Amino acid sequence: MRGQAVRNWIAAVGAKTAYIEPGSPWENGYCESFNARFRDEWLDREVFYSLREAQILIEGWRKHNNAN
C-alpha cells in the first residue's frame, strides 16, 4: 500500500527511480554504509524503552553526525 502511494507520488512529480537489483548493495553504497554505521553505533548498542526516547536520542546522534 505505501509502496504504491510512493510510486504514484513519484509519477505525479515527474521523477524517475533507479532500479537496484535485490541483493546488490554495491549499487547503493552510500545508503548501505549509513545503514551499517547506524546499526553498529545505535541499534546494536542501545535499549530504547519508548519510541519517544528513541526519537530523541537518534535525533541527537543525527545532528552530531551531520555536524562532524
Residue 15 in grid coordinates: 521523477
Residue with cell 552530531: 64
- 68: pLDDT confidence band, cut at 50, 70 and 90? low
- The confidence score (pLDDT) of residue 62 equals 82
**Is the pTM for the entire model greater than 0.75?**
no
Structural domain count of the chain: 1
Nearest to 65 by CA among 39, 37, 46: 37
* Mean pLDDT along residues 37-61: 86
CA atoms within 13 A on the CB side of 56: 6
Q: Which domain holds residue 38?
A: 2-67
Taking CA atoms, 30 is separated from 25, 33, 34, 36, 38, in Å, by 9, 5, 6, 10, 12
